[in-house]
Amino acid sequence: MKIIVTGSLGNISKPLTKHLVEKGHRVTVISTSSNRKAEIEALGAQAAIGTMEDVDFLSEIFKDADIVYAMEALNAGSFFDHNVDFIAASTQIGKNYKEAFERSGVKRIVHLSSIGAHTNKGNGILAFHYNVENILNKLPKDVSIKFMRPVGFYYNMFAFIPSIKTQGAIIQNYGGDDKEPWVSPLDIAEVIAEQIEKPFNGREIRYIASEEISPNEIAETLGDAIGNRELKWETIEDEKLLNNLINAGMNPQTAKGFVEMNASRRNGILYEDYYAHQPVLGKVKVKEFAREFAIAYHQ
């Protein structure tokens, strides 16, 4: 099949491209950087250089595609850009996709959404996933869409490194011994590759997770990996975390969204639909990711 992969060679798109090429599909990878062209072609895929903001470009690339894997992404550093409304900009990409799908006639879509997309209230920065799902759901009924809803990515834990180095602890506005789901991008890519080859039937939702583990267990696992067996996970108030993020230079609106998202982990909003449709857990566990974390920590 002819398959379009968005997201360049990111944490999900690169392993996904490898899976699809190995299965014999004709894959085109969309990237904003011409510097990625050679690396994309080395994987056995074609490169299409353009942006998610360019509807004409997307419409042309999507033509004759059997399936499109679509995800929203802003430029690196957008969290700290005070001129960017993160939710509005990400939602606009969803609108661009919808128009490009309509113009190109694509009938099968795999969309990377997120946990928290089941609601537009109390989920903070994840609200744009709710927005985009609803935008794409307005496509004609003969367009089949598989909404992939992964939980929190392991690599988000890299954000813990500064506070570990400066304050000797992981510091967040949630914590404790209650287990919550996390996911490896490798497991996400594997699930998406499987879903691409399965029949499409209307609109479907699939949660993706690798392990359910508590914050305190994460601190212990990461501490062992970096050689700090005393590492603890400390919980602070929402307002203090908000101030910390703003003082670090984050866009205040984005910082507020992050704090609200984390608060939704405590109050049950974030995981209520996940636990109603709990998936089989993937292969990659936190202990495996902890080896990557340790390398990054010691660099």
pLDDT digits (tens, 9 = 90+) for 131-163: 999 999 999 999 999 999 999 999 999 999 999
Count CB neighbours of 296 within 10 A.
12
| pLDDT at residue 77, as a whole number | 83
In Å, what is the CA distance from 99 to each residue of 27, 85, 91, 105, 210? 22, 21, 13, 10, 34
Q: Where are the domains of the chain?
A: 2-151+183-208
Return the structure tokens found at 212. 């359910």
Confidence class for position 125, pLDDT limits 50, 70, 90: very high
Contact (CB, 8 A) for 22 and 85: no
pLDDT (tens digit per residue) in 88-110 = 999 999 999 999 999 999 999 99
Q: Indicate the CATH number of 2-151+183-208 among 3.30.70.1150, 3.30.450.40, 3.40.50.720, 3.40.50.620.
A: 3.40.50.720
Beta bridge partner(s), residue 31 = 49
Return the structure tokens found at 270. 């974030």
Distance separating alpha carbons of residues 226 and 218, to the nearest angstrom: 12
| pLDDT at residue 75, as a whole number | 81
| pLDDT at residue 74, as a whole number | 87
pLDDT higher than 80, residue 76? no
- Which amino acid is present at 168? G
Mean pLDDT of 242-261: 96
| pLDDT at residue 151, as a whole number | 98
pLDDT higher than 90, residue 225? yes
Above pLDDT 70, what percent of the chain?
Answer: 100
What is the 8-class DSSP label of residue 110? E
Give this prediction's pTM: 0.96
pLDDT higher than 80, residue 174? yes
